[in-house]
Structure 1
Amino acid sequence: MNEYLPLVSLWRLLAVLLLVMSPHALRLPAWETVSILALILWRGLAAHQQWRLPPTWLKIGIALLALVGVLWSYQGRISGQNAGTALLCIMAALKLLEFRGRRDVMVVVFLMYFMLLTHLLFSQELWTAAYLIVCVVATTAVLVECQHRGALPPRHTLRKAGAIALQALPLMLLLFVLFPRLPGPLWGLPADAGAARSGLSDRMGPGDISTLIESDEVAFRVEFDGAVPPPSKRYWRGPVFDHFDGRAWTNGLPTLAAGDAPEIELRGEAVRYQITLEPHRAPWLFALDVPAPASLPGDAFLGRDGQLLARKSVIERRRYALSSYTDYRLAPTLRHPRRYLRLPEGFNPRTRALARRLRETHPQDIEVARAVLRMFREQPYVYTLQPPALGRHSVDEFLFDTRRGFCEHYSSAFAVLMRAAGIPARVIAGYQGGRLNEFGGYYVVRQSDAHAWTEIWIAGAGWVRIDPTAAVAPERIEQSIEAALSELQGLPGHLSARTRLRYYLEARWDLINARWNALVLGYGPELQQQFLGRFGLGDLRRMILALTVGLTVTLALLGLMLLRKAAPARIEDAALRQWRRFTRKLARAGLPPGPAEGPRDYVDRVAAVRPQWTAALRRIVHLYLGSRYQLDADTAALRELARAVREFRAR
């Protein structure tokens, strides 16, 4: 059994361990979460019931099984963001199987500190920082308690842990502001194949975007410089799909490098804005319609299909400024037209037949498109978040049978109809709209604003955007997704009607998060250089010098504060303070008090040596004993004692 930690202290350590691991509960495989809970509960019961710990061979076997389980859950990986965190958590819990002495306790405590860092691999939001501060104080309280043989009151250990955390706060601030920032994400593991991609995918099939509507996560925030386009003009262009396999759309010839940008003619006034994009582990950036090539970030380029791409996947939050035009001609000369006409053989025969009939009655390409939009608008098609499942001939079943779908159903069916009629077409995925945060003056685009539309190529006009969803649910484009789905039952909470109080709280919280992102998480090399440049610390040498001086001064002040606490306590008894002052005068005259000599004996001994002081000595000792030990001592006697000590001259 545990010979070092009392039972109550062990239960507290297990509770803090559970607190530290809790945010990972939904990220870990189900078997691992259950195993960790079982190990923590078993260790507490084993200490309470005085059960013997498992033998060595059993502990080795369990550890090997846990290792195999992690390998199986993460496709043979034990490193990286998800697999590495899972391995660390299960091994920390397994340490409880050999939890005996001081060394084992210290190992578990320091493992808890290390596990706190792993939470930052998954989230750096404000609530995560607040939660980690609570966990740091709780873990430090356990560390304080583990330094004592007996259990301490939680109030004492928490107060001590809080004081230690406050003492570390100045050092933390100095390191945050002055330590040279490294380019790239500090809390990201881009090579982790197990990391989930958030937001839009590089593939669009039936139901893919409607699934995103259930998410309230922020995709990006936008700050406009000047006039803001209306919702119907706010199309945020993302992945472009040109290959259809009969069910899903993909990019059949992805752009891997710059140098093959399309021909663009920009007209009208530019819209200037800044986007703060959340990491989504894909290379595409989002832009309003078509951005001006001159305004692109240095590490970005326009692909051959007009898609804005970064040279590396977006694995950290990034901010970039663009100028876009809502009036433009994109690729007036079409290259590779066959690429945008291909359809797989053996799929959707009824759709092909409909396209042939439309082409026979409408010789102009744009007239075919208008006829399809009129069909969506006039016939009983329904815009719904929960469309029926579709089979092999998905477009046929949607157009002629179910007639219920979301934006990906309408855009996919429209593009297939156009191609079947001999009109080049492709599907664009991105976001549409965005909600104004009145308190911050910026627009928030969430995953629930995900949208898909089509582009058809018209001779002389280039690629023309046509959104078939606007024919079925115009309120989706002109207002918001909430307006389009307001009459449906069972909507996610973030799409239901908002009260003024709810909107106020949500907008305020988002503003706090936006400021946290900009000032703390966005404090990279550029922002650090701009900020420190105001104080003449913009170059690396001065930055390191200021950091060194700041750390030295801060540590010196903390040291002086700790030394002051360690100094003997100041005497608060006024009578005793006057008596000490009196004895120091006698000590300077060569008559110090003895180590165990009382006041009367001391005065008698001094009077025997210096009889001329006898009256003053007896008066002072009488006043001292009366002021310190009498229950009815008053301030007048204390003032008289102070005056007698002050007037006494040891000569």
Structure 2
Amino acid sequence: MRDLAWLVASLLIVVAPHALRAPWWITLLAAFLYAWRIQIMLSRAPLPSRWLLIAVAAAAMLGVWAEYRTLFGRSPGIVLLALFSGLKLLEMRSQRDAAVVAFLCYFLIITNLLSTQSIPTAAAMLVALAVITTTLVGLGAPQRPARANLRTAGLLLAHAAPAALVLFLLFPRVPGPLWGLPQDAYTGVTGLSDNMTPGNIARLVLSDAIAFRVEFEGEPPAHRLRYWRGPVLWDFDGRTWTAGPTALTRFEPPRGGAETFRYEVVLEPHNRNWLFALETAASLPARSHFTADGQLLAHDFVRDRRRYAMTSIAGASRGPDEQPFGLRRALRLPQGSSPRATALAAQWRQQSASDADIVSRALKYFIEQRFLYTLDPALLGRDSVDDFLFGTREGFCEHFASAFAFLMRAAGVPARIVTGYLGGEPNSVDGIFTVRQSDAHAWAEVYLRGRGWVRVDPTSASVPGRLDSGLARAMTEGAALPFMLRPELEWLRGLRSRWEAVAHRWNVWVLGYNTERQRDLMAFVGMPDADWRSLTATLFTILGTITALLLAWSLRRLARPDPVQKAWQAFCRKLAARGVKRAPQEGPRDYSERAARALPRAQRPIRSIGALYIALRYGAQASAQGIAELRRRVRELRLT
């Protein structure tokens, strides 16, 4: 009964995190199977027949296939393992079957790390590891107290810890996802998209998820300079902006500029190949491309946490050159879309002497019209720009940027949309800047002859607080805010900062320990050209040394008598010196009585030492006080 309780506890610990991700009926079915096995044990009922178990397994597989349309992949594979663990409990008849379930629990620990590798998950899995190991120890010693089994399990795990550390540091790193998992391992990632429809970014801003963290060398840029460039959108169909095809180009450092900032980015996985950097990027990260419209693109999709160093120059320019095709593309508009906005732009064109003058008129218009900045704007119709400018007159950054770019194109000024992030706040604990999805932003760029592409942010023109102070201070009083931006939750933001500082170190030094970091470590210890062969040789050499040291320590403990036995041997030597030698077959009680008769002057201390030794040696547990008393009596024994 005790072994079954420990097995069920082990399964609950490793399966419980999956219950948050699995369909509800799978969670209920697994819980029912566990409860069924416990009920059988309590009622001493017979185990279900094999045919019934096969029928339940077939029904479970059919349900999983109906849910996922496959039996393969990460999610269906994990839920099938969870269900099969319950079925294995229902056919468990021997100690061997119980051991198989325990080893299945070990494998289920790994499956949790396929979904998340956060600190809470790692801590929970360490607890699971201890419980499962205690269960295995208990299977081999069913009458032993649970506390003693737990102590043995802790000792075994402590012995394994050095080997685990060496494996972590020296095992050759495998690039890419673990075991080449299928594509379902990359679903459910929040972030920017390669298209923008009114409302997209407003919904994204409600997420408090971290987009990336940034550590600056020296003074960080002011809030108004923290534009993090991402996807560039060129094509407009009257409602939605899309990126379309992007041309790669040779990276060349920008010209001019005021301040230079050097920093390191730890980018969260977002299942795209965009890399984010402050405008204007003056360096190119390793294994990345540069596009003609200023985007940084990784060679592959960012499906794991990525770290890269960057240099940016505020106010720098890429130069005034642009391909004619790009300029034509930046003027395209759908025919007949938003006629009122088109007429307004035509009026500006007639009244202006240059493209720069048109831009100034547009910004003045956005300032004077006093549009409402809100996360919950009214829905827009087919002519989305007209509806925003002359109808609802309320919106979020994508509404402002879309309307401005449309007006520029309608006035004959090439324009495009840039999405990314604006701002980011320093962590009060470690000083590292955190950029969240709630910092998502969209702005426009216009092409001016002689200057090239110039950033214009109509949102910041209409709502200056967004540029200077961030989203929370830019919203009107009483407006809905993302939960963690509410002013009354300052204490909760402080707790979050402390937690995120710890999590960042975990991400950088544990989860971020990749091939490059391993190579740096090997160079530090004198192996600059280490490959997988030398790493493997070093790994087995160190593991062999650890094994030898642990073996020597164990043998020393076996060879060393326990303190009770040591004190008894000293007692026997004293008596043997007086001619009372203990026979090999003689027990401690008989020997003490014979010695007391042979040495009548010391019969009382001899009998007391024998009785105390028997109590300590064969009692429930030898106390430290009793061992000390035995030593004292043996030491003070006089046989003159």
Please tell me the TM-score bracket, short chain as reference: 0.7 to 0.9
Distance 1:354 1:280 in 2: 39
Distance 1:601 1:417 in 2: 111
**TM-score, normalising length: structure 1:** 0.85
Q: Residue 391 of structure 1 corresponds to which residue in structure 2?
A: 381
Q: Residue 624 of structure 1 corresponds to which residue in structure 2?
A: 606
Do 1:183 and 1:525's aligned partners in 2 also have CA atoms closer than 8 Å? yes
Q: CA deviation at 1:170?
A: 1.5
Do 1:593 and 1:602's aligned partners in 2 also have CA atoms closer than 8 Å? no
Do 2:582 and 2:591's aligned partners in 1 also have CA atoms closer than 8 Å? no
Q: Residue 334 of structure 2 corresponds to which residue in structure 1?
A: 344
Residues 376/537 of structure 1: CA separation in 2 closer, same or farther (3 Å cut) = same
Q: CA deviation at 1:492?
A: 3.0
Report Cα offsets for 1:40-88 as digits up to 9, x if no partner. Answer: 33443344445555544444344334334333433x4433333433443
Q: Residue 121 of structure 2 corresponds to which residue in structure 1?
A: 128
1:304 aligns with 2:300: no
Supply the AA of the counterpart residue of 1:555.
T
Q: 1:401 aligns with which of 391, 413, 418?
A: 391
Instruction: After TM superposition, list the pairs within 5 Å mapping 1:224-243 onto structure 2.
Output: 224-243=216-235
Do 1:82 and 1:194's aligned partners in 2 also have CA atoms closer than 8 Å? no
Q: 2:25 aligns with which of 26, 31, 34?
A: 31
Do 1:284 and 1:309's aligned partners in 2 also have CA atoms closer than 8 Å? yes
Q: CA deviation at 1:227?
A: 3.4
Distance 2:371 2:319 in 1: 32
Report Cα offsets for 1:96-149 as digits up to 9, x if no partner. Answer: 453444344333322221121122222222222212211211222333334455
1:66 aligns with 2:35: no
Residues 436/579 of structure 1: CA separation in 2 closer, same or farther (3 Å cut) = closer
1:427 aligns with 2:409: no
Distance 1:203 1:642 in 2: 96
Instruction: After TM superposition, list the pairs within 5 Å mapping 1:62-211 onto structure 2.
Output: 62-74=56-68, 76-149=69-142, 154-186=146-178, 189=181, 191-192=183-184, 195-211=187-203
Gaps spanning 5+ residues in structure 2: where?
616-628
Q: CA deviation at 1:562?
A: 3.7
Q: Residue 212 of structure 1 corresponds to which residue in structure 2?
A: 204
Distance 1:637 1:515 in 2: 56
Q: CA deviation at 1:312?
A: 0.8
Matched residue SS, 2:446: strand
Matched residue SS, 1:320: strand
Q: Residue 358 of structure 1 corresponds to which residue in structure 2?
A: 348
Residues 554/327 of structure 1: CA separation in 2 closer, same or farther (3 Å cut) = same
Q: 1:441 aligns with which of 406, 410, 431?
A: 431
Q: 2:542 aligns with which of 547, 550, 555?
A: 550
Q: Residue 291 of structure 1 corresponds to which residue in structure 2?
A: 281
Distance 2:158 2:206 in 1: 41
Do 1:174 and 1:550's aligned partners in 2 also have CA atoms closer than 8 Å? yes
Supply the AA of the counterpart residue of 2:172.
P
Do 1:351 and 1:396's aligned partners in 2 also have CA atoms closer than 8 Å? yes
Residues 217/596 of structure 1: CA separation in 2 closer, same or farther (3 Å cut) = same
Matched residue SS, 1:572: helix
Matched residue SS, 1:21: helix
Instruction: After TM superposition, list the pairs within 5 Å mapping 1:443-522 onto structure 2.
Output: 443-485=433-475, 487-497=477-487, 501-522=491-512
Residues 577/624 of structure 1: CA separation in 2 closer, same or farther (3 Å cut) = farther
Percent of aligned pairs sharing the same letter: 42
Do 2:592 and 2:610's aligned partners in 1 also have CA atoms closer than 8 Å? no
1:334 aligns with 2:326: no
Report Cα offsets for 1:550-604 as digits up to 9, x if no partner. Answer: 32232233334444555685252787434321466689x9x76252473378669
Matched residue SS, 1:355: helix
Q: Residue 305 of structure 2 corresponds to which residue in structure 1?
A: 317
Q: CA deviation at 1:331?
A: 5.3
Gaps spanning 5+ residues in structure 1: where?
1-5, 606-613, 645-651
Report Cα offsets for 1:189-225 as digits up to 9, x if no partner. Answer: 4744762233112222222212222222221111222
Q: 1:641 aligns with which of 613, 620, 637?
A: 637
Do 2:170 and 2:536's aligned partners in 1 also have CA atoms closer than 8 Å? yes
Q: 1:41 aligns with which of 35, 57, 63?
A: 35
Alpha-carbon RMSD: 3.4
Do 1:264 and 1:330's aligned partners in 2 also have CA atoms closer than 8 Å? yes
Distance 1:635 1:29 in 2: 64
Residues 53/339 of structure 1: CA separation in 2 closer, same or farther (3 Å cut) = farther
Stretch moving more, 482-491 or 465-474: 482-491
Distance 1:571 1:48 in 2: 43
Distance 2:384 2:362 in 1: 17
Residues 287/603 of structure 1: CA separation in 2 closer, same or farther (3 Å cut) = closer
Residues 130/329 of structure 1: CA separation in 2 closer, same or farther (3 Å cut) = same
Distance 1:604 1:125 in 2: 67
Q: Residue 608 of structure 1 corresponds to which residue in structure 2?
A: none
